[in-house]
Amino acid sequence: MTVTIKTPAEIEKMRVAGRLAAEVLEMIGEHVKPGVTTEEIDRICHDYIVNVQKAIPAPLNYGAAPGRPGFPKSICTSLNHVVCHGIPNEKPLKDGDVLNIDVTVIKDGYHGDTSKMFMVGKVPEWAVKLAQVTQESMYKGIQLVKPGARLGDIGEVIQKHAEKHGFSVVREYCGHGIGAVFHEEPQVLHYGRAGTGMELKEGMTFTIEPMINQGRPETRLLGDGWTAITKDRKLSAQWEHTVLVTADGYEILTLRSDDTLPRTSA
């Protein structure tokens, strides 16, 4: 797979898909509360994407192959010690849970991919802190995006910020190029050394989506073939945005009204 440089027309489609993905996360917030199941949250998101946005939920049946069923739901819901790719189910949310909802929308053939952390009821202070540091790490990575920067610059700033607060960075999962294809080159690692890795060029689009653990960085894949959890069963947090490399910096294609970073670096 190669890195695709998007044309102005493709970038416009990415903006639309990104905005729709952001709108799903804005819409679902009021539904995330104790007693609600992630299955119900998935159904609400699915209906909104399909019926209101007239778009396609990218995760549904993603990865299907002979002898292997695809992902069974329209969003990923990763709860507490689930790192990523959690499958919505019938278990009700409870007070103190932390939940990542990951949404990818396809509109007019292009993908918008984003996730955010939701606090369910009253959440312990240290869980709030983990989510906050993870979001700060993502922001710090985004702020370094510009032509001529390197992927290692992003990885290093995220890793340093997380580890400074006593947390660890997941190694097995990373950000990725995105466009007409859900997952393409480059791989965007959330650890590394500044000055190394691929050089960023105007027109590249990719996700920055650090997964930061309260305890150790190791993960384990559950028997369903999708759900990744922390090996030590301690909490994990994740935030994600789809980002465009502009002529002089970045543009966040999945920006929400609750974000504190400006849409563009200009």
For the chain, give percent helix, strand, coil, nearest 5: 25, 25, 45
Please indicate, yes or no, if residue 216 is contained in any of the structural domains: yes
Q: List residues forming the annotated binding site for substrate.
A: 85, 183
C-alpha closest to that of 243 among 213, 212, 211, 200: 200
Strands 236-238 and 241-245: unpaired
CB 99 within 8 A of CB 46: no
Instruction: Give the residue numbers spanning the domain of 108.
Output: 8-252
Please indicate, yes or no, if residue 263 is contained in any of the structural domains: no
Please indicate, yes or no, if residue 264 is contained in any of the structural domains: no
pLDDT value of residue 88: 98
Strand, helix or coil at 242?
A: strand
Output the domain CATH number for residue 92: 3.90.230.10
Please indicate, yes or no, if residue 59 is contained in any of the structural domains: yes
pLDDT value of residue 68: 85
Q: List residues forming the annotated binding site for a divalent metal cation.
A: 102, 113, 176, 209, 240
End-to-end CA distance of the chain: give it in Å, rounded. Answer: 31
List per-residue pLDDT tens for the chain, 266 residues long.
589 999 999 999 999 999 999 999 999 999 999 999 999 999 999 999 999 999 999 999 999 999 888 999 999 999 999 999 999 999 999 999 999 999 999 999 999 999 999 999 999 999 999 999 999 999 999 999 999 999 999 999 999 999 999 999 999 999 999 999 999 999 999 999 999 999 999 999 999 999 999 999 999 999 999 999 999 999 999 999 999 999 999 999 999 999 999 999 96
Angle CA(42)–CA(137)–CA(135) in degrees, nearest 5? 35
Q: List residues forming the annotated binding site.
A: 85, 102, 113, 176, 183, 209, 240
CB 265 within 8 A of CB 249: yes
The number of domains in the chain is: 1
pLDDT value of residue 96: 98
pLDDT value of residue 219: 98
Please indicate, yes or no, if residue 122 is contained in any of the structural domains: yes
Give how far the C-alpha of residue 128 lies from the chain's centroid of Cα atoms, to the nearest Å: 18
Q: Distance between CA atoms of 232 and 83, rounded to whole angstroms?
A: 12
Amino acid identity, residue 14?
A: M
Under 8 Å CB-to-CB from 30, ≥6 apart: which residues?
A: none
Please indicate, yes or no, if residue 143 is contained in any of the structural domains: yes
pLDDT value of residue 16: 98
Q: Distance between CA atoms of 35 and 24, rounded to whole angstroms?
A: 21
CB atoms within 10 A of CB 195: 10
Please indicate, yes or no, if residue 2 is contained in any of the structural domains: no
